[in-house]
Chain A
Amino acid sequence: MSILINQNKCIGCGKCTVVCPGNLVHLTKDNKAKISNIKDCWGCCSCLKECLVGALKLFLGADVGGQGYTLYAKDKGDISDWIIEENETPKAKITLNKKDANKY
Chain B
Amino acid sequence: MQVKKLSTDILIIGGGTAGIFAGITIAEESDANVLILEKAYIKRSGCLAAGVNALNAYICEGQKPEDYANYAMNDAHGIARYDLLLSMSQKLNSVTKKLEDLGLVILKDENGKYVLRGNRNIKINGENIKPILAKAVENHPKISVMNGVNAVEYAVKDGKAIGAYGVSVNNNIFYVIEAKAVICATGGAAGIYRPNNPGFSRHKMWYPPFNTGAGYAMGIRAGAEMTTFEMRFIALRCKDTIAPTGTIAQGVGARQINSLGEDYGIKYGFTTSQRVYGTVKENIEGRGPCYLETKGISQEQTADLYKAYLNMAPSQTLKWIESGKSPDVQNVEIEGTEPYIIGGHTASGYWVSDDRSTSIKGLYAAGDVAGGCPQKYVTGALAEGEIAAHSALSYIKGQTLTSISDEDIDIQFRKSTKYLNNTHSTYSINDLEEAMQTIMDTYAGGIKTNYQYNQIQLTVASEKINELIQLSEKLTAKNTRDLTKIFELKDRLEVARVLIKHLESRKETRWHSFAENTDYPQEDDRYLVYINSTTLNGETKMIFRPLIKEGQKHEHID
Binding site for B on A (CB under 8 A): 1-2, 18-23, 36, 39-46, 58-69, 71, 82, 84, 86, 91-92, 94, 96, 98-104
Chain B residues with Cβ below 8 Å from A99 are 105, 125
* Residue from A39, A61, A66, A102 in contact with B53 in the complex, judged by beta carbons closer than 8 Å: A102
A89 to B199 alpha-carbon distance, docked (Å):
28
B265 at the interface (CB under 8 A from A): no
* Residue from A42, A66, A92 in contact with B209 in the complex, judged by beta carbons closer than 8 Å: A42
Chain A residues with Cβ below 8 Å from B204 are 1, 42-43, 61, 64
Chain A residues with Cβ below 8 Å from B200 are 1-2, 39, 61-63
Determine if A84 and B305 form an interchain contact, defined as CB atoms under 8 angstroms apart. no
Minimum distance in angstroms from A81 CB to a CB of chain B? 10
Chain A residues with Cβ below 8 Å from B305 are 104
Chain B residues with Cβ below 8 Å from A68 are 322
Minimum distance in angstroms from B398 CB to a CB of chain A? 37
Contact A82:B210 (CB < 8 A) given known A91-B321, A100-B125, A102-B247: no
Determine if A67 and B123 form an interchain contact, defined as CB atoms under 8 angstroms apart. no
Nearest-neighbor residue (CB-CB) of A95 within chain B: B307
B262 at the interface (CB under 8 A from A): no
A82 to B39 alpha-carbon distance, docked (Å):
29
Q: Which 4 A-B pairs have the closest CB atoms?
A: A104-B251, A101-B107, A69-B322, A46-B44
B188-214 interface with A by 8 A CB criterion: 197, 199-205, 208-210
Pick from B312-320, B349-357, B491-499, B547-555 the stretch touching chain A.
B312-320
A65 to B117 alpha-carbon distance, docked (Å):
31
Nearest-neighbor residue (CB-CB) of A72 within chain B: B314
Minimum distance in angstroms from B437 CB to a CB of chain A? 13
A39 to B106 alpha-carbon distance, docked (Å):
35
Contact A82:B128 (CB < 8 A) given known A20-B40, A45-B50, A100-B105: no
Determine if A104 and B123 form an interchain contact, defined as CB atoms under 8 angstroms apart. yes
In this complex, the interface size class of chain B, counting residues with CB under 8 Å from chain A, is: 35 or more
Chain A residues with Cβ below 8 Å from B117 are 104
Determine if A102 and B308 form an interchain contact, defined as CB atoms under 8 angstroms apart. yes
Determine if B124 and A94 form an interchain contact, defined as CB atoms under 8 angstroms apart. no
Q: List 21 A-B contacts (CB under 8 A).
A: A1-B204, A19-B41, A19-B43, A22-B209, A23-B170, A42-B50, A42-B208, A44-B44, A44-B50, A59-B318, A60-B319, A61-B201, A63-B200, A64-B201, A67-B323, A82-B310, A98-B105, A99-B105, A102-B123, A102-B251, A102-B308
Chain A residues with Cβ below 8 Å from B256 are none
Chain A residues with Cβ below 8 Å from B170 are 23
Determine if A94 and B306 form an interchain contact, defined as CB atoms under 8 angstroms apart. yes
Determine if A45 and B314 form an interchain contact, defined as CB atoms under 8 angstroms apart. yes
Contact A42:B322 (CB < 8 A) given known A21-B208, A104-B304: no
Contact A69:B321 (CB < 8 A) given known A23-B169, A23-B484: yes
Nearest-neighbor residue (CB-CB) of B312 within chain A: A102
Determine if A58 and B317 form an interchain contact, defined as CB atoms under 8 angstroms apart. no
* Residue from B247, B306, B315 in contact with A1 in the complex, judged by beta carbons closer than 8 Å: B315
B328 at the interface (CB under 8 A from A): no
Contact A94:B40 (CB < 8 A) given known A21-B208, A42-B208, A63-B200: no
A43 to B49 alpha-carbon distance, docked (Å):
10
Determine if A58 and B124 form an interchain contact, defined as CB atoms under 8 angstroms apart. no
Determine if B247 and A104 form an interchain contact, defined as CB atoms under 8 angstroms apart. yes
Binding site for A on B (CB under 8 A): 39-41, 43-46, 49-50, 53-54, 105-107, 115, 117, 123-128, 147-148, 169-170, 197, 199-205, 208-210, 240-241, 247-248, 250-252, 304-308, 310-311, 314-315, 317-319, 321-323, 481, 484
* Residue from A36, A45, A60, A82 in contact with B322 in the complex, judged by beta carbons closer than 8 Å: A60
* Residue from B44, B315, B481 in contact with A43 in the complex, judged by beta carbons closer than 8 Å: B315
A62 to B203 alpha-carbon distance, docked (Å):
14
**19 more A-B contacts (CB under 8 A) besides A65-B323, A104-B247?**
A1-B241, A18-B43, A22-B203, A40-B203, A42-B49, A42-B50, A43-B314, A46-B49, A58-B315, A63-B199, A68-B322, A69-B321, A71-B315, A82-B317, A100-B125, A101-B115, A102-B251, A102-B307, A103-B308
A91 to B317 alpha-carbon distance, docked (Å):
13
Contact A101:B49 (CB < 8 A) given known A20-B44, A94-B310: no
Determine if B40 and A84 form an interchain contact, defined as CB atoms under 8 angstroms apart. no
A7 to B251 alpha-carbon distance, docked (Å):
40
A36 to B323 alpha-carbon distance, docked (Å):
29
A102 to B311 alpha-carbon distance, docked (Å):
8
Chain A residues with Cβ below 8 Å from B49 are 21, 42, 44, 46
Determine if A101 and B203 form an interchain contact, defined as CB atoms under 8 angstroms apart. no
A24 to B170 alpha-carbon distance, docked (Å):
11
Determine if B203 and A42 form an interchain contact, defined as CB atoms under 8 angstroms apart. yes
A92 to B314 alpha-carbon distance, docked (Å):
14
* Residue from B241, B317, B484 in contact with A94 in the complex, judged by beta carbons closer than 8 Å: B317
Chain A residues with Cβ below 8 Å from B41 are 18-21
Nearest-neighbor residue (CB-CB) of A43 within chain B: B315
Chain A residues with Cβ below 8 Å from B201 are 1-2, 39, 60-61, 63-64
A101 to B307 alpha-carbon distance, docked (Å):
10
* Residue from B123, B304, B322 in contact with A84 in the complex, judged by beta carbons closer than 8 Å: B322
Contact A102:B314 (CB < 8 A) given known A60-B319, A65-B323: no
* Residue from B210, B241, B304 in contact with A103 in the complex, judged by beta carbons closer than 8 Å: B304
Chain B residues with Cβ below 8 Å from A92 are 321
Most chain B Cβ neighbours within 10 Å, of A2, A62, A94, A104: A104
